[in-house]
Structure 1
Amino acid sequence: MVHAIFDRAEKAQHALEEAFAESSRAVVFTGAGISTESGIPDFRSAGGIWSRMEPILFDDFLASEEARLEDWRRRFDMAERFAAARPNGAHEAVAHLARNGPVSLVVTQNIDGLHTRSGVPPEKLVELHGAGDHATCLECGTRHEISFAQDQIAKTGMSPRCTACGGLLKAAIISFGQPMPEDELERAMKESVMADLFVATGTSLVVYPAAALPMMAKEAGARLIICSREPTDQDDIADLVVRTPLAETFGPLKQMKFA
């Protein structure tokens, strides 16, 4: 049974400050809701990206040049959106808590790169669904910039190939049907069960296996806080549920002092 639900930002902020102040090892798990306040649309809600277009499956990307070119067109559009967006107060607060506070790991489902740009240390960030700011070769893993892929398509009209081995390039994002990165997921699971505080922020908690992380943390003894404007299926096991705007609620936490 959830212990408390906060629908006023000031009260929620104080509750979060208290929780982080009392924590010695915290995990913050974020989803699209932390970035919508930076102007980045989400994928799954009504009016979200998947309500306007069908996702391109990984197998289709591998099999079809037409699918690859359409996937790249969408990635270029997203890259422009991501570049234009700026981290909001919630991103900045999470970065502060990771640099100076008890947050041992930030786990995100987002591909927008805003956690990196807000200053979350690379060693404390796991991007479960990849990142949209670069591409990788599906054969050898060599990194290429998005601008390289864009130039190659403009010049040849064909999907870009790796400069090292000639393999297919793909934006470094996990597509539907593509295996999750095992090392990153394992690290997220390990930190979750070691945490004394787990804060799920801006996520609907419907995409598994990532959505199992809060339950794993709770079962291992962590205090669980869920910050989501909409109800989730895990609200009933949370110690605290926050329904307030994330940037407004988290923003003041970037002023927290830690010994």
Structure 2
Amino acid sequence: MELQCHLKVCKESLKVNERERVEVKTVLPTGGLNASKTQTFRVLWKNNGEAVFHKDCWTSLLKAATARKKYKDLPDLTVEEKVLVKEAAKTAEFFYSMSGMKEEAKRVVEMIRKSEFCVVFTGAGISTSAGIGDYRGKSGKWTEMDQNAVNMDSLFGEESTCTYSTEIGPPTKKAKTDSEQSDDLESDDEEDDGVPYESLRPTYTHEALQKLIEIGHVKHIISQNGDGLHTLSGVSYDKISELHGNVFIEKCGKCGERFERDFYVMDDVCSQYYEELEDYGKTNIIKPKHAKQCELCNLSHRTGRKCSKNGCKGYLIDTIINFRDNLEEEILNQAENISEQCDLMICLGSTLTVTPACDLVEMIKIPQRLVICNRQKTEKDNVCLEKDKKGITLGSRIFGDCDTFMREIMKNIMPSKDLEKWEASRNDRMKIYDTKRNTDIKRIL
């Protein structure tokens, strides 16, 4: 596969399998870029602000955007384009060449073979190929919220003054008029129903991790994901700590009994009722009788069903951890105990920024052998590159897609005939997954 590097002076094709690349997305002014200004730009930005570069082209471009003076060997950027590049840098996703990926996968397999207690830590990045958006990718949910807070209009106006915002958190909500609030409430029914969780199926990475548990190379999975794809792939509940819950698991708020369902258990109508009251001060939604506002997250965890254990009849609640909710103590304690036993932790698809989940990485045995596969850089990357007394790197840092990386892991860890047979049986496994999910359930937000 060949792409075109978006640095205009670069005339080399970008061969995905042969060269390292960087993909970014910047913030554009309302209405897009003015044609007269783009003629002076050094980057051929797409209409949506995206661009792709050879890694060395991106490095020179970023240096030019941050340098205090001009250098002959760096692109000559206008003030406006420097801002575009700096904003793009916040979203940068890095990809190894295929040869680099293969080389690192072989190293990691040797680590896995020598490990006595290998643990895998997973984030949203392992589910993107299943159809779920991530949070900190170049088009991720929080990335787009951050970019929406940046105002480029003044910079690209007639005065060309730089008065843009670079706040890191979500944008401050602007007060709305009654008519705007009314329009928002009336349009809610036209929005899509969100992620169709019942229709999602495990990715190659999910299945590979289940297989590695089955053959004994991985002892446990610690996951930040609530999509239920790990357990759907066959991972038993004693082999996984789902820190942020599972949309297919509800529990009794009275006796604590847990129930696994074949459908999405959350009652989004209840939560939307409280959310709209908080955002707009009013709502057209009739409050469900079972709704109860959570004191921590201000939403509702009740699912509308009651416990069936021994006539308990307590209200069932979902297990999803919302912002400001506390993690379930029992699950967090289990994850901490597992982390303390871990002599090799492999982190897949996570930027490792959400606490207290990311703190578990620091709890593994010393010397800390940490492997991270993620498109974006993380604050834990340096841990992967630490060396032992002999100067040998303890861990590994891989930039790229988790599915691509795990395919190379499986090629090196399973006998070729066994791997071929296992991969060929994916369609059969899909039929099993279909029987475990009720896709006839229709959810209404």
Shorter-chain TM-score tier? 0.7 to 0.9
Please state how far the C-alpha of 1:161 moved relative to its aligned partner.
3.5
- Any idea what the Cα deviations from partners look like across 1:167-186, whole Å, max 9, x if unmatched? 55432211112111112112
Please state how far the C-alpha of 1:136 moved relative to its aligned partner.
2.9
Query: Which segment drifts farther, 5-14 or 109-118?
Result: 5-14
2:239 matched to which residue of 1?
124
- For residue 216 of structure 1, the aligned residue among 363, 366, 370 is 363
2:205–2:402: 8 Å Cα contact kept in structure 1? yes
Query: Which segment drifts farther, 12-21 or 222-231?
Result: 12-21
Query: Which segment drifts farther, 159-168 or 114-123?
Result: 159-168
| Amino acid aligned to 1:224 | L
1:69 matched to which residue of 2?
none
Which consecutive residues of structure 1, in runs of 5 or more, have no partner in the other structure? Answer: 55-72
- Any idea what the Cα deviations from partners look like across 1:106-149, whole Å, max 9, x if unmatched? 00000011111222232111100010113334344354645677
Cα distance in structure 1, aligned partners of 2:265 and 2:355: 33
| Amino acid aligned to 1:247 | D
Cα distance in structure 1, aligned partners of 2:264 and 2:117: 39
Instruction: Within 5 Å, give how 1:14-53 maps onto structure 2.
Output: 14-45=106-137, 47-50=139-142, 51=144
1:161 matched to which residue of 2?
304
2:247–2:265: 8 Å Cα contact kept in structure 1? no
Instruction: Within 5 Å, give how 1:83-98 maps onto structure 2.
Output: 83-98=198-213
Please state how far the C-alpha of 1:241 moved relative to its aligned partner.
0.4
1:104 matched to which residue of 2?
219
Query: Is residue 2:318 matched to residue 1:226?
Result: no
SS in 1 for 2:306: coil
Which consecutive residues of structure 2, in runs of 5 or more, have no partner in the other structure? Answer: 1-93, 146-169, 171-188, 271-285, 292-302, 385-394, 416-445
1:30–1:201: 8 Å Cα contact kept in structure 2? yes
Cα distance in structure 2, aligned partners of 1:39 and 1:237: 31
Query: Is residue 2:335 matched to residue 1:179?
Result: no
* TM-score normalised by the chain length of structure 2: 0.46
Cα distance in structure 1, aligned partners of 2:354 and 2:264: 30
Cα distance in structure 2, aligned partners of 1:237 and 1:149: 38
Please state how far the C-alpha of 1:9 moved relative to its aligned partner.
2.5
Instruction: Within 5 Å, give how 1:113-152 maps onto structure 2.
Output: 113-143=228-258, 145=261, 146=263
- Any idea what the Cα deviations from partners look like across 1:53-106, whole Å, max 9, x if unmatched? x8xxxxxxxxxxxxxxxxxx9xx945x522222212211111111111231110
2:14 matched to which residue of 1?
none
Cα distance in structure 2, aligned partners of 1:40 and 1:210: 20
| Amino acid aligned to 1:40 | I
Q: Percent identity?
A: 32
Cα distance in structure 2, aligned partners of 1:191 and 1:120: 16
Query: Is residue 2:335 matched to residue 1:188?
Result: yes
SS in 2 for 1:103: coil
SS in 1 for 2:345: strand
1:92–1:251: 8 Å Cα contact kept in structure 2? no
Q: 1:244 to 1:179 in 2, by over 3 A?
A: same
SS in 1 for 2:132: coil
1:198 matched to which residue of 2?
345
Cα distance in structure 2, aligned partners of 1:202 and 1:249: 11
Q: 1:171 to 1:241 in 2, by over 3 A?
A: same
| Amino acid aligned to 1:125 | I
1:249 matched to which residue of 2?
405
| Amino acid aligned to 1:88 | T
Q: 1:247 to 1:107 in 2, by over 3 A?
A: same
Please state how far the C-alpha of 1:11 moved relative to its aligned partner.
1.9
Going by fraction, where is strand more abundant, 1 or 2? 1
| Amino acid aligned to 1:236 | N
Cα distance in structure 1, aligned partners of 2:367 and 2:206: 26
Cα distance in structure 1, aligned partners of 2:136 and 2:321: 16
1:63 matched to which residue of 2?
none
Please state how far the C-alpha of 1:157 moved relative to its aligned partner.
6.7
Going by fraction, where is helix more abundant, 1 or 2? 1
SS in 2 for 1:27: strand
SS in 2 for 1:249: helix
Cα distance in structure 2, aligned partners of 1:45 and 1:248: 17
Cα distance in structure 2, aligned partners of 1:116 and 1:188: 16
- For residue 383 of structure 2, the aligned residue among 221, 228, 237 is 237
